[in-house]
């Protein structure tokens, strides 16, 4: 009985504590912590002064802040568009009057009216095409490996995480740093192929034919040929290697001469001008060579010409630009692959497809629109890069387009930079015309890529 009475008393006291008092407040009730120590009471917990009062935002103030934010965004966008319109207007205004067929197909000349940028245009196409062919498969393949084939080994996952961290950091490195890296890694290849016996040329090369070039005596103003007149002619004697001894011409030797149809054989006559008299016949005089003269060593490179180290050729420039845009392509491809729903992968795996079949037939086609967008942005950056190419190729006077992957080259940004650095106002105007041509090429590349992306997206839909 005593236990029941005590339980009823405790229940009654609890009910009394929860009854509201006359002033409308709930009765005070202590809340005990561990060990029976009172923490606080309900009155203290409900006391409005015990906590900071929240700041209430009225509907009018919220709308005002929203209006101010929208106005700020609109003004920022308008300012950006106005700056872009001003820059494009000034470039188009100065460049369109200078556009001509000579500017597009001509070579760099000291006279502004005759100057063109055909070698730079072809150099840009060569470098950017090689850069795309190297970078896109490498970047997309790396992103697929990181996202779709994550290793199960803990050490391998840590290595993969380190690679991912480095890729993210490389995306923010200035392009001039990549130019210095390309100069060391691709142009000289860390000096691994240095050869003291051949300091001026490559250590290894394939696809090059060397000649010793002689001119006839008619082109030498210090040799007396009498009253006989003959045209200047140049003859080529093939040699085995770049470092072969110089050819000593002798009468009756066969040489080659450049003509419209290619190289043709010519039988030459060799004389010592200090001991022998020059022929009086015009044809014989035109084929006569000074046997004591020193020839010039020239080379003819085939389309498949390859050398190590690469030197300052097209391949070195393309590989350097690859370093610039590779992190961008990898990161954009990763984001596109992550956007593909996991249910597509699970469904394909449930039907018995292998992981590679899932990637090739399901994941990659679904991610192509995003991959194309990242590739467009990356290649647009590569076309306009100047700093790395300036370090690799330098500002050189080149009058011909590249003929092979190891040939010297220049690009349109370098040619524009060269024209803008000159004091003549006419060169500044044709530089603006070059910028217009560069923008047209850039927009053409982007339009083709966008068209491909939309066609692929329509097929997927």
Sequential pLDDT tens for the chain (461 residues): 444 444 444 444 444 444 444 444 444 444 444 445 454 444 444 555 545 555 555 688 888 999 999 999 999 999 999 999 999 999 999 999 999 999 999 999 999 999 999 999 999 999 999 999 999 999 999 999 999 998 888 999 999 999 999 998 998 899 999 999 999 999 999 988 876 555 567 888 999 999 999 999 888 777 777 777 788 899 999 999 888 999 999 999 999 998 877 889 999 999 988 888 888 888 898 999 999 999 999 999 999 999 999 999 999 999 999 999 999 999 999 999 999 999 999 999 999 999 999 999 999 989 988 898 889 889 989 998 989 999 998 877 888 999 999 999 999 999 999 999 999 999 999 999 999 999 998 888 888 878 877 777 766 65
β-strand partners of 215: 234
Among 135, 123, 189, 150, smallest CA distance to 402 is for: 123
Rounded CA separation 61/356 (Å)? 56
Q: Which residue has the tokens 């491809």?
A: 333
Provide φ and ψ at 187, rounded to 5°. Answer: -70, -50
- Tell me the CA distances in angstroms from 229 to 257, 282, 287, 300, one per residue in order: 20, 6, 12, 31
Rounded CA separation 208/70 (Å)? 65
State the pLDDT at residue 279: 85
Rounded CA separation 374/453 (Å)? 11
Number of other residues whose CB lies within 10 A of the CB of residue 281: 12
Residue 233 in contact with residue 216, Cβ under 8 Å? yes
β-strand partners of 212: 237, 297
State the pLDDT at residue 220: 79
Rounded CA separation 327/312 (Å)? 24
> Strand 38-41 vs strand 204-215: parallel, antiparallel, or unpaired?
unpaired
Residue 157 in contact with residue 143, Cβ under 8 Å? no
State the pLDDT at residue 54: 54
Residue 251 in contact with residue 270, Cβ under 8 Å? yes
Instruction: Considering only the C-alpha atoms of the chain, give the largest distance between any 2 of them, rounded to a whole number of Å.
Output: 153
Rounded CA separation 91/192 (Å)? 46
State the pLDDT at residue 147: 93
Residue count of the chain: 461
364-384 vs 425-460: helix crossing angle, rounded to 10: 180
| Structure tokens that stand for 197 in this block | 């016996």
| Structure tokens that stand for 251 in this block | 């009468």
**Chain centroid to CA 144: how far?**
20
State the pLDDT at residue 458: 64
| Structure tokens that stand for 429 in this block | 């105007």
State the pLDDT at residue 30: 46
State the pLDDT at residue 106: 93
Q: 1: helix, coil or strand?
A: coil
Q: Is the dihedral of CA 315, 318, 321, 327 positive or negative?
A: negative
State the pLDDT at residue 191: 85
Rounded CA separation 447/379 (Å)? 12
Q: Is the dihedral of CA 437, 441, 444, 450 positive or negative?
A: negative
- Tell me the CA distances in angstroms from 105 to 84, 95, 208, one per residue in order: 29, 16, 28
Question: Is 193 buried (19+), middle (13-18) or exposed (0-12) by CB count in 10 A?
Answer: middle
Q: 104: helix, coil or strand?
A: helix
The CATH architecture one would assign to domain 96-188+310-460 is Orthogonal Bundle (1.10)
Rounded CA separation 265/193 (Å)? 37
Cis peptide before 309 (omega within 30 of 0): yes
The residue extents of the domains of the chain are 96-188+310-460, 203-308
Rounded CA separation 323/342 (Å)? 31
């Amino acid at each position: 009985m005593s236990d029941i009475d005590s339980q009823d008393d405790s229940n009654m006291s609890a009910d009394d504590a929860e009854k509201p008092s006359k002033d409308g407040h709930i009765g005070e009730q202590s809340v005990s912590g561990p060990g029976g120590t009172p923490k606080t009471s309900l009155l203290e917990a409900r006391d409005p002064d015990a906590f900071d009062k929240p700041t209430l935002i009225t509907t009018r103030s919220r709308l005002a802040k929203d209006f101010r934010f929208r106005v700020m965004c609109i003004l920022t966008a308008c300012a950006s568009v106005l700056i872009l319109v001003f820059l494009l207007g000034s470039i188009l205004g100065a460049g369109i009057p200078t556009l001509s067929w000579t500017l597009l197909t001509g070579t760099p000349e000291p006279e502004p009216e005759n100057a063109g940028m055909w070698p730079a245009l072809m150099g840009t196409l060569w470098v950017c095409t090689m850069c795309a062919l190297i970078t896109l498969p490498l970047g997309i393949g790396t992103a697929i490996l990181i996202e779709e084939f994550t290793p199960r080994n803990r050490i391998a996952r840590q290595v993969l995480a380190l690679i991912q961290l480095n890729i993210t950091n490389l995306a923010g490195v200035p392009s001039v740093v990549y130019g210095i890296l390309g100069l060391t890694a691709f142009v000289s290849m860390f000096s691994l192929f240095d050869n003291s016996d051949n300091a001026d040329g490559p250590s290894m090369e394939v696809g090059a034919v060397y000649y010793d070039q002689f001119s006839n005596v008619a082109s030498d103003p210090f040799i007396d040929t009498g009253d006989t007149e003959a045209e200047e002619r140049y003859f080529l004697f093939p040699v085995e290697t770049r470092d072969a001894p110089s050819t000593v011409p002798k009468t009756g030797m066969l040489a080659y001469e450049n003509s419209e149809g290619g190289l043709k054989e010519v039988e030459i006559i060799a004389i010592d001008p200090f001991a022998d008299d020059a022929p009086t016949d015009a044809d014989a005089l035109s084929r006569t060579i000074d046997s004591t003269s020193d020839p010039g060593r020239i080379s003819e490179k085939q389309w498949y010409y390859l050398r190590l180290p690469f030197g300052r050729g097209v391949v070195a420039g393309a590989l350097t630009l690859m370093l610039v845009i590779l992190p961008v392509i990898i990161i954009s491809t990763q984001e596109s692959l992550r956007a593909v729903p996991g249910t597509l992968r699970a469904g394909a795996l449930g039907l018995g497809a292998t992981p590679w079949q899932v990637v090739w037939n399901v994941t990659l086609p679904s991610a192509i629109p995003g991959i194309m967008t990242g590739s467009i942005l990356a290649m647009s950056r590569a076309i306009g890069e100047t700093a790395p190419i300036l370090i690799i190729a330098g500002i050189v006077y080149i009058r011909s387009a590249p003929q092979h992957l190891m040939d010297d080259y220049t690009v349109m940004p370098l040619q524009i930079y060269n024209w803008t650095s000159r004091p003549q106002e006419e060169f500044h105007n044709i530089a603006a015309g070059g910028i217009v041509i560069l923008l047209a090429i850039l927009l053409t590349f982007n339009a083709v890529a966008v068209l491909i992306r939309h066609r692929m997206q329509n097929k997927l839909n």
